[in-house]
Amino acid sequence: MLHQVLFIIFGVVCVAGALNLLLQRHPINSALSLIVVMGALALLFLLLGAEFVAAVQVIVYAGAVMVLFVFVIMLLNAGVEEHTRGSRVAIFLGIPGLIAFFIFMCWAIGSNGSALGQARIGSFYVPTQELGIALFREFLLPFEVTSVLILIAIMGAVVLARRER
Amino acid sequence: MNPQLNYALLLPEIVLTVWGILVMVIEPLLPQRSTQKGLGIFAFIGTLAAIAASLWQTTIPAGTGWFDMIRVDEFSIFFHVLICCISAVVILASFEYLDSQQIRGGEYYGLILFGTVGMVLMSSAVELVLIFIALEISSISTYVLAGFRRRVATSAESSIKYFLLGSFATAFFLYGVALMFGATGSTSIYIIASVLQSGQTAGTGAPLLSHGLAYVAVALMFVGIGFKVASAPFHIWTPDVYEGAPAPVVALMSTGPKAAAFAVLLRILFGAALNTGSGWFWLVWISAALSMTLGNLGALLQTNVKRMLAYSSIAHAGYLLVAFAARRDIGIAAAIFYAASYAAMNVGAFAVVSHFARSGERYVSITDYSGLGKRSPVLAITLTIFMLSLIGIPATGGFFAKFYVFNAALKSDLVWLTIIGLVNSAVAAYYYLRLVVVMYMYEPQTGEGKLELRTAPGMAAALVITAALTIWLGVAPGRVLDYARRGADHLRPAAQQQSSFRSPASGYPQDVRIPQHQAGDR
C-alpha cells in the first residue's frame, strides 16, 4: 500500500518534471527540471529494490552529468530560446504518430492483461554485494577493457581539442 | 591462479595494448617537429608482434576463458590475423602521409593500436556486453582518426558526422542487447542459442518470454552492425566520411572495423540466433540487394576517387551479406574469405590514393589520375590490379571471393539474389575500368606531369604486400579457404560442446542441420 502511494507520488513528480523540461524557455530551467526527473527516477528504482542503480542514478546523472550540463549552459551564456512556429512535419506526423502509439500500447496491454501476470514491487531485490561479485568475477574482462575505452576517449579529446600550430 | 583467467587467450590484445601505451609514453620524449617515422616503425613492430601472438594461439587448444567471455578458435584467430595485418599495412602506408600532412604521430599510431585491440576483441568475444565494449573501442578510435586532418573543414565534418550517426547506431545495438537479455535472460551467445532452441530460459527453466522479442532484438542488433559495415539502408554516412577522413585512415576503417563487425554479425546470426533464421533471412536479403544496387549506382556518378571507393565499399558489403543470406556453412566460409580478400584489395587501393593525394589531399578526383600510366607505370599497374580485383576478374582475390559467395547463394536457391549480384558486378566494372582507362588512355594534365612521384620505402612495402596478397588469393585461394571453412565449423553452438572438434577439410556432414528457408526466393 505504502509502495503504491510512493510510486504514484514519484511517478507524477517524474512526468511533471519531464513536461516542465520541455515547456521551459530558458535552458537553465530545463536543466534544473531534468535534475528533478533524475531524482524521481532514482526513487522509483529504489522502490523496485534496485538500491545500487538508485545510488548510481543520483551520483552519476543527478550529480556529475547535470553539473556538466549546467556548466556548459553557463559557459555558453545561453539566453532564452527563440520561439519558432514548429515544423509542419512535427504537427502532421508527430501528433497522429503519438496518438497511434498510445492506442497501440493501450491495446497491447489491454489484450494481454490476463497473460501478463503480477510481480510484487521489490521482489527482484539484488543486493549491491552480488552486483559487485558479478562485476569483479564474471564481468572482470569487460570491466578491465573499459579502461582502454576511457583511455582512447581521453586521447581523442586531447587530439581534437589541441590548438594546431 | 584461477584457471578462468587464461592470459594466453588474450595475448594479441595484451600485446597491442602494451604497445599502444609504449607509443604514447615514447612520443613526448622525441624531438618536436621531426619526422615520426621511428614511432611508426615501432608501432608496426607492435602489430607484427600481435600477428605472431595470434599465430601462436593456433598451437593452444581452442576454448573459452574469462568466465565464458571470449572464445579463441580458428574463427577468431583468422580474424585476429586479418585485422592485425590490416593495421600493419595501414601503419606502413601512413609514414610519408603523416609527414606530408603534418599530422602528429603519437596519438595517430596509439589510436590505431588501441582501435585494433577493440576489433580483435570483437572477433573473439562471445558475450554481448563484451562485444558492445569492444565495438565502442573500435568505433571511438575511428571517429577520432577521421578528424585527424585538423586544418581541413571536411575532416571535421567527417568526424562529427561519423560520431553522431555512429552513436545513434550504437544505441540501436545496445537496445537490441537489452531486449535479447529480456527475452532469453542471458547475454552469452551460447546460452542465447540454447534458450532459443529449447524455448526455456536459462537457470530458472521458465518458458521463453516471447519469440517476438528475440526477433526484434536480432533486428535491432542488425541495424547497429549494418551501420558499422555500411550496408544499404544505413549507408548514408559513408561517402561524406570517407571523403573527409585521411586516406590511410579510410583504408583502415573501410576494412578493419568492417571485418570485425562482420565477425560479430556471424557470431550473432549463426552462433546465437540461427533458430530465428526465418525471421532475419528477409532482413539480410533486402539489405544485401539494396546495398549492391545503391552502392554501384551511386559509384557511377562520382568524380572523386575517395567517394567512388566509398560507394564501392557499400556495394561490397552487399555482396558479403549475400553469403549471410545463404545460411549454410559454405556461406559462412565464403563470407570469411570475402572479408580477407576485400581487405587486401581495398587497403591497397586506398594506399595508392593516399600516396597520390599529396599534401592537403589535393589530387583525389578521377581526372587527376589521367596519364598515371606514363608518369609512374609501377603505381598505375598496382592500382590496376586492385581495380581488376574489385571488379572480380579471374586470377585476383576478388574473383574467388565473389565466386564462393554466389556459389553459396545458388546452393541455397537464392536465384534472384544471385542475378541481382551478377548484374551489379557488371555495372561495377564500368566505374572501376573508367579509372583504369583514365590512367592509361588520357594524356597527363599540364603542369602536373612533372610532379614527383617517388615512392617511400614504407609505402612501397605496403603496396607490394597488398598486391601480392590480392594475386595470391586469386591464384591459390585453397589454404585461406580451408582455414575459413574450419573457422565456419567452430561458429555453430554444436561446436561449443566439443572443443577439440576438427572437421575434415572437405565435405559438410553437418550442413543439413541448418534450417533452410523453404518458402520463397525461387
Confidence grade of residue A88 (pLDDT, cut at 50, 70, 90): confident
- Residue range B7-46, pLDDT digits in tens: 999 999 999 999 999 999 998 888 876 767 889 999 999 9
Q: What is the DSSP string of B206-260?
A: PBPS-HHHHHHHHHHHHHHHHHHTT-GGG-TTHHHHHHHS-HHHHHHHTTHHHHH
For residue B248, what pLDDT is reported? 94
Confidence grade of residue B447 (pLDDT, cut at 50, 70, 90): low
Q: What is the mean pLDDT of chain B?
A: 87
For residue B184, what pLDDT is reported? 84
- The three cell numbers of residue B197 are 532452441
Confidence grade of residue B117 (pLDDT, cut at 50, 70, 90): very high
Size of interface A-B (CB pairs under 8 A): 67
For residue B102, what pLDDT is reported? 82
Taking an 8 Å Cβ-Cβ cutoff, which residues of chain A contact chain B?
137-142, 145-146, 148-149, 151-153, 155-156, 158-160, 164
Q: Which residues constitute the domain of residue B67?
A: 7-497+506-513
Is position B519 within any domain? Answer: no
Is position B482 within any domain? Answer: yes
- Residue range A13-48, pLDDT digits in tens: 999 999 999 888 888 888 999 999 999 999 998 888
What is the number of other CB atoms lying within 10 angstroms of the CB of residue B278? 14
Q: What is the DSSP string of B247-310?
A: HHHHHHHTTHHHHHHHHHHHIIIIII-GGGHHHHHHHHHHHHHHHHHHHHHHHHT--BHHHHHH
For residue B11, what pLDDT is reported? 94
For residue B511, what pLDDT is reported? 37
CB contact under 8 Å between B67 and A142, yes or no, is: no
Identity of the residue numbered A133: I
Chain A CB contacts of B17 below 8 Å? 148
Percentage helix, strand, coil for chain B under 3-state DSSP, each rounded to 5:
75, 0, 25
Chain B CB contacts of A148 below 8 Å? 17, 114, 117-118, 137
For residue B514, what pLDDT is reported? 39
CB contact under 8 Å between A159 and B148, yes or no, is: yes
User: Is residue B510 scored above 50 in pLDDT?
Assistant: no
For residue B16, what pLDDT is reported? 96
Residue whose C-alpha cell reads 574469462 in the numeric block: B66
User: Is residue B448 scored above 60 in pLDDT?
Assistant: no
How long is chain B? Answer: 522
For residue A108, what pLDDT is reported? 76
Is position B303 within any domain? Answer: yes
Selected residue with higher pLDDT from B71 and B212:
B71
Residue B121 is nearest to which of A138, A145, A151, comparing CB atoms?
A: A145
Selected residue with higher pLDDT from B236 and B498:
B236
For residue B517, what pLDDT is reported? 41
> Is-contact B71 B63, C-beta < 8 A?
yes
CA dist B226 and B232 (Å) reads: 8
For residue B369, what pLDDT is reported? 87
Selected residue with higher pLDDT from A54 and B359:
A54
- Residue range B241-282, pLDDT digits in tens: 999 999 999 999 999 999 999 999 999 998 887 776 777 899
Is position B518 within any domain? Answer: no
Is position B337 within any domain? Answer: yes
Lowest mean pLDDT, pick from A118-122, B109-113, B305-309:
A118-122
Q: What is the mean pLDDT of residues B449-465?
A: 78
Lowest mean pLDDT, pick from B187-201, B294-308, B343-357:
B187-201
Is position B521 within any domain? Answer: no
CA dist B142 and B127 (Å) reads: 23
For chain B, what is the domain count?
A: 1
Percent of chain B scoring above 90 in pLDDT: 62
Chain A CB contacts of B127 below 8 Å? 142
Q: Compute the C-alpha angle B299/B300/B303, nearest 5°.
A: 80
CA dist B57 and B47 (Å) reads: 15
Chain A CB contacts of B110 below 8 Å? 155
Confidence grade of residue B78 (pLDDT, cut at 50, 70, 90): very high
Selected residue with higher pLDDT from B166 and A114:
B166
Q: What is the mean pLDDT of residues A115-139?
A: 76
Is position B1 within any domain? Answer: no
For residue B371, what pLDDT is reported? 84
For residue B152, what pLDDT is reported? 86
Interface test with A, best of B5, B98, B140 (most A CBs within 10 A): B140
pTM: 0.88
Residue of B nearest to A156 (CA): B144
Interface test with A, best of B114, B124, B139, B174 (most A CBs within 10 A): B114
Chain A CB contacts of B143 below 8 Å? 156
Q: What is the mean pLDDT of residues A73-102?
A: 79
- In this predicted complex, what is the ipTM? 0.86
For residue B466, what pLDDT is reported? 94
